[in-house]
């Protein structure tokens, strides 16, 4: 019997026996507390001919024998004169059971990592600087802040891919297929919003695979994995975690169980969540357990600046990143003028309302862009306490952002 070539997929494993021309697809794998491992196994010929599919206990000898006997019968009916014997099928069934149990119980192997100088490239982005590839990315914000529309735009940009997009996003070389998992609205609403975006942008947008979900994501992960595999999606959007989580958001186990399920899919993912409701907290965060922020690699806060009948102004600010330089906030204006949804980018530092809500160092930096000034003029103009101005200027001077010119401070223009 040949040694199988094993491929790890979102739904489980594929074991290919080249010599016997047989393929076994193993899914719905479940390790029970009593030590049993059950799974669903689909048997086909290497050219795609269907033989049998069933779910059984991978440790039960009697079941394995029954499987081998039935498979030998089906094989002889489908391939008379060229089929495997019952004994050969018994060996294949045992091999599939043994390899699946080992992979399930042992998990991924430990690898020795050595520093390799400058040869290791930095992390890749599916959409720079928003979505880190093959990682968990999260956007949180108030209700009706535009999380769904903003995420639809991201899907469209990477789905084309739109290389010369007016938003300054870095995109992949090839089109990216998206699977949108929706717990919040319905297909009709989603279709309307995406169609309006296409009308407003005046171009043909790529399709997005859509799935309305009812069960929690951890409970539905096998079915979701099936659709990831079927659609060949490499990017998923979860809209939103409040309904998808399957438990109290303040419970650590809910968050860790949710992300453990997501990890099985091996795709880039974007998760939309609501903001913490504590009005006294200066630093905003995702609603619920701290694990909602511990596990994602990038987290963005989406803030609604203004919302009128025909426009929505939003600002995205990165609140967490594990690797790389922190990009500045960026603004998106959604215009609804009766001809669809048009989107354009703007600099939030041009909006006084936004600047007032940013850090003292950012406000001072923007003020000094107009020209040098002393500390008294800065705190009188900006309304920042004197002590804060002094301490902030000192830090900015130590970092090389500003320089003392007599009694004034000026920006160090390193780019000039």
Render 99-128 in DSSP notation, one character per residue: HHHHHHHH-SPP------TT-SPPPPEEEB
State the CATH architecture for 125-353.
3-Layer(aba) Sandwich (3.40)
Domain ranges for the chain: 5-106, 125-353, 359-411
Which 3-state string (H, E, C) describes 251-270?
Answer: CHHHHHHHHHHHHCCCCEEE
The neighbouring-strand residues paired with 138 are: 271, 299
Domain 359-411 has CATH 1.10.10.10: yes
- Indicate left, alpha or beta for 406 from its phi (over 0: left) and psi (-120 to 50: alpha): left
Reported for 344-348, long-range contacts at CB under 8 A and 24+ positions apart, including other chains, are 344/166, 345/166, 345/167, 345/168, 346/313, 348/305, 348/315
The answer to whether the CB of 29 falls within 8 A of the CB of 11 is no
- Is residue 10 within 8 Å of residue 18, measured between CB atoms? no
Contact by Cβ (8 Å): 286, 296:
no
Torsion angle (degrees, nearest 10) of CA 106, 107, 112, 116:
170
pLDDT in single tens digits along all 416 residues of the chain = 789 999 887 668 899 999 999 999 998 788 887 888 999 999 999 998 999 999 999 989 999 999 999 999 999 998 888 899 999 999 999 999 999 998 887 766 777 877 766 667 778 999 999 999 999 999 999 888 899 999 999 999 999 999 999 999 999 999 999 999 999 999 999 999 999 999 999 999 999 999 999 999 999 998 999 899 899 999 999 999 999 999 999 999 999 999 989 988 889 999 999 887 654 455 666 777 888 899 999 999 999 887 788 999 999 999 998 887 788 889 999 999 889 999 999 988 776 666 667 678 887 888 888 888 898 888 888 888 888 888 888 888 888 888 988 888 998 876 54
Q: Which helix (H) or strand (E) element contains residue 191?
A: helix 187-201
């Amino acid at each position: 019997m040949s040694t199988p070539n094993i491929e790890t997929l979102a739904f489980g494993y594929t074991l290919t026996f080249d010599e016997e021309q047989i393929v076994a697809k193993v899914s719905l794998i479940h390790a029970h507390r009593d030590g049993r491992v059950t799974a669903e196994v689909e048997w086909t010929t290497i050219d795609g001919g269907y033989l049998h599919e069933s779910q059984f206990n991978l440790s039960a000898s009697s079941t394995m024998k029954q499987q081998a006997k039935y498979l030998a019968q089906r094989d002889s009916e489908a391939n008379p004169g060229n089929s495997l014997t019952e004994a050969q099928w018994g060996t294949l069934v045992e091999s599939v059971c043994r390899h699946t149990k080992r992979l399930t119980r042992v998990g991924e192997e430990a690898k020795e990592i050595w520093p390799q100088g400058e040869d290791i490239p930095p992390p890749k982005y599916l959409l720079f600087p928003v979505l880190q590839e093959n990682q968990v990315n999260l956007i949180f914000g108030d209700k009706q802040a535009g999380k769904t529309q903003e995420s639809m735009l991201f899907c469209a940009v990477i789905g084309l891919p739109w290389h010369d997009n007016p938003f300054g996003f870095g995109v992949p070389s090839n089109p990216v297929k998206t699977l949108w998992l929706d717990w919040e609205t319905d297909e009709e609403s989603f279709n309307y919003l995406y169609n309006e975006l296409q009308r407003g942008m005046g171009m043909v947008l790529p399709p997005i695979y859509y799935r309305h979900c009812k069960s929690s994501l951890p409970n539905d992960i096998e079915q979701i994995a099936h659709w990831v595999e079927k659609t060949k999606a490499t990017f998923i959007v979860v809209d939103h975690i409040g309904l998808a989580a399957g438990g109290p958001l303040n419970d650590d186990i809910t968050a860790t169980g949710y992300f453990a399920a997501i990890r099985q899919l091996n795709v880039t993912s974007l998760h939309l969540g609501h903001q913490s409701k504590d009005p006294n907290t200066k630093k905003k965060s995702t609603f619920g357990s701290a694990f909602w922020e511990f596990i994602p690699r990038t987290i963005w806060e989406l803030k609604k600046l203004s919302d009128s009948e025909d426009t929505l102004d939003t600002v995205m600010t990165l609140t967490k990143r594990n690797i790389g330089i922190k990009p500045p906030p960026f603004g998106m204006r959604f215009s609804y003028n009766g001809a669809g949804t048009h989107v354009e980018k703007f600099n939030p530092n041009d909006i006084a309302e936004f600047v007032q809500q940013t850090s003292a160092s950012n406000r001072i930096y923007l003020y000094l862009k107009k020209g040098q000034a002393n500390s008294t003029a800065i705190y009188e103009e900006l309304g920042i306490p004197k002590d804060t101005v002094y301490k902030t200027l000192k830090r900015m001077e130590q970092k090389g952002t500003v320089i003392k010119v007599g009694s004034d401070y000026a920006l160090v223009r390193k780019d000039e």
